[in-house]
Structure 1
Amino acid sequence: MLDELLGRAELKARIEELEEEKRHLERRAEAEEERRSEAARKRQEAETTINRLEDRIEGLEERIERLSGDDETEVAFRGIEEFHGERREEILSRLSSFETGPEGALTAMVHDDVPDAVSDALGDRSALVRRAAPCLVCLDDAGLVTVALAPPTPPAAFVEWGTGFRLDRSWFTPVEPTWVALVRSDLFALGIYDGDAVTLVDEVESDVMGAHSKGGFSQARFERRRDQQIDEHLDRARSVIETHVEATASEDDTESGEGEPPVPRNADVVVLGEETVLGQFTDLAERTATVDATGDPGDALRSAVREFWTVRLSLL
C-alpha cells in the first residue's frame, strides 16, 4: 500500500521488466557468439577440405600429364630414404666426393618449375622432380647418379654444371651452434643445436584449458578464456627468446664454461612447432616450420630438431 502511494510499486515493476530484458539480451548475445564460433569452426573445416581437394586435383593433373604421352607407364621413385646424424654425413660425403670431367655433373635447386637442363637429362622422369620439389637435384651425364635431396634450409634456385656436385653443408645441418625453439600452445622449449646434439636452455609450460566439456563455461566464454591463456603463454615464450638471444649477442667476449654448450652469438633463430602459433614468431626467426613433437620440453625439442633436420633422399 505504501509503495503504491509513493509510486514505488510502478518503479519496481519497471526495474523487474528492465532486468528481464537485460537477461534476455545477454542470452541473445551469448547465443550469437556461439553461432559465430560455430561458423568459424565450419569455415576452418571447409578450408581444410578445400586444401585437401586442391592437393588431390594437383596430383591428378600431374598424373594426367605423365600419362598424356605415348608411353603410359607411370614413373615412380626407385627408392626413398630419410636420414639424419651419421647417415646424413655419410650420404653427403659420398655425393661430395663424386668427380667427373668438365661439365659432367649437374646440380640444380628446384623450387617450382623444373629447369630445362634437368628435363633434358631425365626426360619423362623429370615429373619425379616436380613431385619431390623443393629439392636439390644431383645427376651426372652418364646417368650413374640421379638423386633429389630435400634440404631443411634450401638455397635459392640455381642450375650449375661442374666437375662435381655443389653441396653446402649449411643447407642440411647447422655449421655453427644455432638457437632452436619449439613452440606449442601449452609448451615452449629453447635450446642450442650444434649439428650433432641439442642442449635445453630454457622451458615454459602453461596450464591451458583443454577441450570444452558440458556445463560450466559457454563455448564462447570457454574459447575466449582459452585464447587468453594461449596468448599469455606465447608472450612468455617470446620474452624467453628475446632475453637469451639479446643476452648472448651482447656477450661476445664471454666464453662458455667447461662442459657447457657453445653459446650462439649473433646466430640464427629457428622456431618450430604448431602451425597455428608460428606466425607470431616470424619477426624473431630466420626460419619457421611445422613439426609434430610431443612429450616433456627436452624430449619434445629433440624430437622437433630431429624431424626438421631430417633429409629426404629420392632416387629418380
Structure 2
Amino acid sequence: MLDRLLGRAELKEQIEELTKQKDHLQRQVEAEQRRRADAVADKQRAEERINRLEDRIEQLEDRVRRETADGQTAPEYRVMREVGPDRAGELYGRLATIQSDSDGLLTAAVTDSDSIPTTVSDRLGDRTALVRRAAPALVVIDDAGLVAAALNLPVMPDPFDGWADSFRLQPSWFQPTSRFAFGLLRSDTFALGIYEGRERESLTAFKSEVKSQHSKGGFSQDRFERRRDGQIEDHLEKARDEIRDADEVDQIILVGERTVLSELRELADTTDVADASGDPETALKQAFHDFWTVRVRGL
C-alpha cells in the first residue's frame, strides 16, 4: 500500500518490463555475436598469415615479370642458393680474394629496383632485369665473364657503384662482426639477445596474453577488439622498455611481424620482416639464422 502511495510499485513494474526487453535484446545480440565470431576469428588468422603471404606474392610477381611485352621468356638466374650464417664468412673471403690487374671488377649496391646504375645495365644488357628482380642486392661482376652475381645481404650498404681491381666489400655486410642486440617482435612474443659476433651472451624473452579469437558470448566485438589492442599495446610497451635497456651495443636489429614492427622501428638501426614463430627463444634462433643468411643469385 505504501509502495503504491509512493509510486514505487509502478516503477517496479516498469523496471521488470524493461529488464525483460533488455534480456530479449541481449539474447539477440549474443546470437548475432555467435554468428559473427567465426568470421572475426578468420579475419584474425588471415592477419597473422600476412607475412607468409608476402613471400608468396613476391614469388608470383617474379613469375609475371618473366614474360616480356612481346611474349618471350625473360632471362632466368643461372643459380639460386642460400648461404647460412656458418658459411657467410667463407663466401665473403672468396669474393675478397678475387683480384684484377686493372679496373676489371664491378661492385654495385642496388637498393632500388627502379634505379639500376648504368655501369650494371651497360654490362648486363637484357639480363639487367635479373638485378631489378633481386634488388635490394649487391652486384659483383668481372670483365672476363667469370663472375656475375646478385647477393641479398643481411646488411645492405648505401647505394654505390664502380670498377676497381677488387670487389668493394665489408665483412659486416655478410656476418655479425661486432657487439649488437638482435630482437624478434610479434604481437604476443618478444625475445632480445645480446650478441658478440654470432655468440649470444644474454637473452630476455617473454610471451604476453593476447586474445586471438572473439569470445563466444559476453562482450561485443568492439569491446573485444579494444581489449585485444590494449593487450598488444601493453606487450609493445614492455618490449620497448627492454630495447631501451640494451646498452653498450654497436647496433640494434629488430625483426618480426610487419603490423607491430612499425611501432618500434625508431628504436632500431635495422628492421626486417620475419615469420619465425614458436616459443620466444626458438623463434629468436630461427629469425637470427634467417636474417644472417645470404641469398646468391647467378646472373
Q: Cα 1:93–1:275, aligned 2, differ >3 Å: closer, same or farther?
A: same
What SS does the aligned partner of 2:250 have? coil
Q: How does 1:170-189 map to 2 (within 5 A)?
A: 170-189=172-191
Give the Cα separation in 2 of the matches to 1:17 and 1:216: 22
TM-score (norm 2): 0.81
- Give yes or no for the alignment of 1:93 onto 2:76: no
Determine the structure 2 residue equivalent to 1:109: 109
Does the 8 Å CA contact 2:81/2:295 hold for their aligned counterparts? yes
Determine the structure 2 residue equivalent to 1:291: 274
Determine the structure 2 residue equivalent to 1:282: 265
Determine the structure 1 residue equivalent to 2:250: 267
Deviation at 1:220, TM superposition (A): 3.6
Q: Cα 1:108–1:8, aligned 2, differ >3 Å: closer, same or farther?
A: same
Q: How does 1:111-130 map to 2 (within 5 A)?
A: 111-113=112-114, 114-130=116-132
More RCO (CA 8 Å, sep 6+): 2
Amino acid at match of 1:157: P
Q: Cα 1:133–1:174, aligned 2, differ >3 Å: closer, same or farther?
A: same
Deviation at 1:240, TM superposition (A): 1.8
Give the Cα separation in 1 of the matches to 2:223 and 2:7: 40
Deviation at 1:233, TM superposition (A): 1.9
Deviation at 1:14, TM superposition (A): 4.3
Alignment length (residue pairs): 289
Deviation at 1:93, TM superposition (A): 0.9
Determine the structure 2 residue equivalent to 1:142: 144
Q: Cα 1:53–1:83, aligned 2, differ >3 Å: closer, same or farther?
A: closer
What SS does the aligned partner of 2:223 have? helix
Q: Cα 1:131–1:99, aligned 2, differ >3 Å: closer, same or farther?
A: same
What SS does the aligned partner of 1:154 have? coil
Deviation at 1:134, TM superposition (A): 0.7
Determine the structure 2 residue equivalent to 1:226: 228
Determine the structure 2 residue equivalent to 1:133: 135
Q: Cα 1:58–1:86, aligned 2, differ >3 Å: closer, same or farther?
A: closer
Does the 8 Å CA contact 1:189/1:200 hold for their aligned counterparts? no
Q: Cα 1:275–1:73, aligned 2, differ >3 Å: closer, same or farther?
A: closer
Deviation at 1:227, TM superposition (A): 2.5
Does the 8 Å CA contact 1:204/1:236 hold for their aligned counterparts? no
Deviation at 1:207, TM superposition (A): 2.9
Does the 8 Å CA contact 2:138/2:150 hold for their aligned counterparts? yes
What SS does the aligned partner of 1:78 have? coil
The runs of at least 4 consecutive aligned structure 1 residues that moved more than 6 Å come to 20-32, 50-54
What SS does the aligned partner of 1:156 have? coil
* Per-residue deviation, residues 253-298 of structure 1 (Å, max 9, x unmatched): xxxxxxxxxxxx2521111122221112112111111212233332
Determine the structure 2 residue equivalent to 1:63: 66
Give the Cα separation in 2 of the matches to 1:59 and 1:25: 53
| Unpaired segments ≥5 residues, structure 2 | none
Give the Cα separation in 2 of the matches to 1:144 and 1:236: 51
Does the 8 Å CA contact 1:198/1:302 hold for their aligned counterparts? no
Give the Cα separation in 1 of the matches to 2:263 and 2:55: 25
Deviation at 1:148, TM superposition (A): 0.6
Matched-pair identity in %: 46
2:243 corresponds to which of 198, 217, 241: 241
* Per-residue deviation, residues 215-251 of structure 1 (Å, max 9, x unmatched): 45544433333332222222112112222x2xx3xxx
Does the 8 Å CA contact 2:215/2:224 hold for their aligned counterparts? no
What do you get for the CA RMSD once the two structures are aligned?
3.5
Q: Cα 1:281–1:51, aligned 2, differ >3 Å: closer, same or farther?
A: closer
Q: Cα 1:235–1:73, aligned 2, differ >3 Å: closer, same or farther?
A: closer
Which range moves more in the overlay, 282-291 or 2-11?
Answer: 2-11
Determine the structure 2 residue equivalent to 1:200: 202
Deviation at 1:13, TM superposition (A): 4.0
Q: Cα 1:29–1:217, aligned 2, differ >3 Å: closer, same or farther?
A: closer
